[in-house]
Structure 1
Amino acid sequence: MTKKIWILILTSILCIFIAACSSDNSSKTSKGKDDSEKVTLKFMYWGSVFEKQAVEKMVKSFEEKNPNIKVDAQHVPNDYGTKINTLMASGDLPDVAYLSEGLALKWAEEGKVMDVTQYMLEFDELKNRIPETFYYFDKGKTIGTNTAGEIMSLFYNKDLFAEQGVDLPPADAQNAWDWGSFVETAQKLTLDNQGRNALSPDFDAKNIAQYGISFPTWWAGWYPFLLSNGGAITNEDGTKYTLNSPEAVEVFQNLQDLMYKYHVAPTPTQKENMPATSVLLQTKKVAMVIDGHWNILDFGESKLNYGIGVLPKYKEAKSVIFGAPTVIFADTKHPDEAMKFYLFHNNPEEVDLFAKGLWMPLEEKYYTEQEYIDSWINNEVHPPEFKEAVVDYTMNNIEPGPSYSLKNFVEIDPAIGAGLDPIWLGKKSAKDALDELEKTVQPLLQGLYER
């Protein structure tokens, strides 16, 4: 056998061997790609049954568009704080989760929640979110934003205004009621069981059939007015209590007077037997309600003929934007995939909670570009004045709530809440209660987060 034939035989054998190996490796690689590169993310969230349905729909869409990522979504409707603290203690945290503001910032400082600043340079949909929605836990370091936006507004039953011949609340910040005009309107809409309003000398304050206004007594109910009047919880660096300043005292005394002087708002005791905001307006128990944007979901389902106005003002028209953050935990093994899901889970194009009224978008384009504005408000759920009263107002008249900037807010918030109870119950004047509250809050102050 010649040398040339031997070379041909050996070459043939070698080619067959390489082909076999290549085929075997190809098979393993193809199979291995599904297994080794398939990432599972754990996601934990709270919310109503309606929100759960929307989230499940979103997760399904995400998995279809990202076949290499599976999302194990866990809905925790009750005792969420207990659950997440237990997981933290056991070292078994999810990759992505809803989290309360105070806990999120505290854990970020401890290195347990991921700093997502690096991703702001990479993703416009993160970088271009409303600045007031970001949570900063150190200079130049952020855990990201709210899960969605929420602001406080003035909701009202349009039919009740028509019945009493009262002008509707203003929808633009420039024409916002001053406090006196607001009180007078509430008096006109507060009726006793004989149909007499609170301006009548014969008004029976002990037998009220319809209140003019209702407002929440947690911080979102009073903080916008504090901002409007130039007040604050602390001084500029967060080290000194200032909630007993003349500006703050005026706000809290005015709110107390709505209940006990003018009798146009139900007291906490009276509210215990009252239904939720949407039902209050629908059953004509109350004509106006100060509350959060999320109520629009219920208004839409009830087919209530409701409207939205801007909040009354003192020196400037102000409201607050808030909403607990979604975070990525620092010990995730899949930070890039987690960020991809993070950006997807509250995208208005993927979640119908925006168009249905529960959430407000985070990116500025949904407030400034008509195409994107229409995509979430051009429907039956949102009334005609919504663009002016909420969209424009959000871009020009909002500030972040105290939970974004006040360190140790997780302890300060309940302390303030307890200290304000004597005001809401009519047991102390605003000045006395706020002066006394200083002794409780001052020792808890640890400064402000840099924004």
Structure 2
Amino acid sequence: MLKKLLILLLIPFILCACEKKTKEEITFSSWGSVTEVRIINKIISDFEHENPDIKVNFLHIPQNYFQKIHLLFASSQAPDVIFINNLYLPVYASRLEDLSNFAAKNSYYPESLRALSYNGRLLAVPRDVSTLVFYRNRDLISTTPVNLDEFMQVLKSAPEYGVSYERNVYYMFPYVMTMGEDIYNPDKSLQFYKNLEGRFAPTPADIGSLTQAQMFLDGKIGLYLSGRWMYPKISEKADFDWDVITFPGIVPLDASGWAISADSKHKEQAKKFVNYLSSPKSSEYFLNTGLVVPARIETSQKIDNKVFLDAIAGARAIPVDKDYRKTIDKMNKQFFE
């Protein structure tokens, strides 16, 4: 009788030990701001509560993200789930799981899926899409140009600097793409862009220690070319009448999303976590930061400014290969130094 009683008392502990043994651990890496990290931790907590047999170890890499990811791959310690963008995707394409059979593909903007595919394989489930728009100081510019000819007329009548200017080919790409030239071999569009500086846009001497964003917030620039990531700051800091308008032409589209290492020993758990990260509920968490445009179509419709959705219609994914970063560095040096 005593033996039976002891066995009954020990059963809960035996079951508990078995549960601990069967609990699978996966590692998830991401960069991100304090706000994004807070959301990620919330999502992980909810996921673990709903999936008690899986533990997610979050590896936050705020700086030199891809250099560190490269080292992890090289040492066979790559995270199971990796936050990645389309610009670096080709570098790791051979090391990532093919997610082409991902069930919810129809829920995403097609351009985001194209951006995160390589050689016909979907390698990451999209979290967000990123395009460029004009933040407009309506006290300086009230007209909305719909093509580059109208854009030039607007600049000629602007009382201050008409437009921002970055010595970076990424901000030149809208002009190159709109003029129908190869982004890696611009000709007339390169000259068009460079002619803006000094005539319609501030020079480095004009800016001094400020940034283009600060010049805009100081009321010195009429049209500031940037992305959704600037929306919260401009909403908070701008003390003049402003709005957001689309660029009068084609703009580059980037996308970020969640990939799975092909070497992961926990692929089923990793896929379950990616499904959770990309769910409508999680997508809305990221939307509420104000920093991103969700790639999930249904969630994106809840955004506070529909111009960012209009911009997607006039955007094209940047064609990239594994040497993209080297090519861009070379172009910046060749064109702007």
Distance 1:228 1:29 in 2: 67
Which residue number corresponds to residue 359 of structure 1?
Answer: 292
Note closer, same or farther for the CA distance 1:300–1:23 as it changes in structure 2 (3 Å cut). farther
Q: Pick the aligned partner of 2:136 from 156, 162, 167.
A: 156
Which residue number corresponds to residue 311 of structure 1?
Answer: 247
Which residue number corresponds to residue 173 of structure 2?
Answer: 223
Point out which structure has higher relative CO (alpha carbons under 8 A, 6+ apart). Answer: 2
**What are the equivalent positions in structure 2 for 1:25-424 lying under 5 Å apart?**
27=12, 30-109=15-94, 112-118=95-101, 120=102, 123-124=103-104, 126-134=105-113, 135-139=116-120, 141-158=121-138, 160-161=139-140, 166-169=141-144, 176-191=145-160, 211-233=161-183, 243=185, 248-260=186-198, 263-268=199-204, 270-271=206-207, 273-275=209-211, 277=213, 279-302=214-237, 305-312=241-248, 317-347=249-279, 349-350=281-282, 351-366=284-299, 373-374=301-302, 377=303, 382=304, 386-387=305-306, 389-394=307-312, 396-403=313-320, 406-422=321-337
Residue 308 (structure 1) shift = 0.8
Residue 417 (structure 1) shift = 2.1
Conserved? CA contact 2:31–2:61, under 8 Å: yes
Instruction: Structure 2: state its 5+ residue gaps.
Output: none
Distance 2:230 2:93 in 1: 31
Q: Secondary structure at the match of 2:128?
A: coil
Q: Secondary structure at the match of 2:62?
A: coil
Note closer, same or farther for the CA distance 1:105–1:50 as it changes in structure 2 (3 Å cut). same
Residue 151 (structure 1) shift = 0.8
Q: Secondary structure at the match of 2:136?
A: strand
Aligned residues: 333
Note closer, same or farther for the CA distance 1:410–1:333 as it changes in structure 2 (3 Å cut). same
After superposition, give the CA deviation of every residue in 1:381-406 in whole Å (9 maximum; x if it has no partner): x3xxx32x222342x32211233xx4
Residue 293 (structure 1) shift = 1.7
**What are the equivalent positions in structure 2 for 1:437-448 lying under 5 Å apart?**
none
Note closer, same or farther for the CA distance 1:265–1:343 as it changes in structure 2 (3 Å cut). farther
Note closer, same or farther for the CA distance 1:338–1:216 as it changes in structure 2 (3 Å cut). farther
Conserved? CA contact 1:62–1:344, under 8 Å: yes
Q: Percent identity?
A: 20
RMSD: 3.0
Conserved? CA contact 1:215–1:291, under 8 Å: no
Note closer, same or farther for the CA distance 1:411–1:338 as it changes in structure 2 (3 Å cut). same
Distance 1:346 1:419 in 2: 40
After superposition, give the CA deviation of every residue in 1:12-70 in whole Å (9 maximum; x if it has no partner): x9xxx9x8999699646632453133222211211222322232233223223333222
Which amino acid in 1 is paired with 2:172?
W
Which amino acid in 1 is paired with 2:45?
K
Q: Rg larger in 1 or in 2?
A: 1
Q: Secondary structure at the match of 1:288?
A: strand
Conserved? CA contact 1:274–1:280, under 8 Å: yes
Instruction: Structure 1: state its 5+ residue gaps.
Output: 1-12, 170-175, 192-210, 235-242, 368-372, 423-451
Distance 1:20 1:232 in 2: 79
Distance 1:145 1:268 in 2: 39
